Amino acid sequence: MFKVRFHVADGEHYKHWQIRTVCKGKPDRIEYENPAEVQLELVNCTLRSQTGKAKKVFKSQVRDVCGWVECEHIITTYLKYTDAPITVQALPRVTYDPKINPYWNIEGDSDNYETMLVAELVTSGNRLHILKPIHV
């Protein structure tokens, strides 16, 4: 399993995608990808957050790590090696900023999408879009 989030802490990997490979019984492996250089496809996803921590961030307006996407598989496309990245303009955008809303949203919709299952998400820069929804 992977946990993916946009890293906004100061330092070398500021505003990069953080990809955490969860390793049972061993320390997790953490990698960073520059959103200007890659497009990530996240497969079999769940939108996750620590609700209590997100509500605290919302109230205090002090940022803390509390949201991520869990996924089973990641396909990384390096943009310098492709002529055809996935076009996202017509795709629904998924947002998470606990300073604005303490839960996951779909742009233009105020509903809470916490723990929503998505077949495939795709990145474009620092944004996440639904490439293939789960049909129930």
Among candidate residues 73, 56, 90, 65, the one with its CA nearest the CA of residue 5: 65
For residue 19, being part of any structural domain is answered with: no
What is the mean predicted confidence (pLDDT) over 29-46? 97
CA atoms of 109 and 97, how far apart (whole Å): 14
Encode pLDDT of 41-71 as tens digits: 999 999 999 999 899 999 998 888 899 999 9
- Between CA 11 and CA 26 the distance in angstroms is 25
pTM of the model: 0.92
Range of the domain at 112: 34-133
pLDDT tens string 84-99: 899 999 999 999 999 9
Confirm whether 105 is domain-assigned. Answer: yes
> What total of structural domains would you count in the chain?
1
- Where does the pLDDT of residue 132 fall: very low under 50, low under 70, confident under 90, or very high at 90 and above? very high
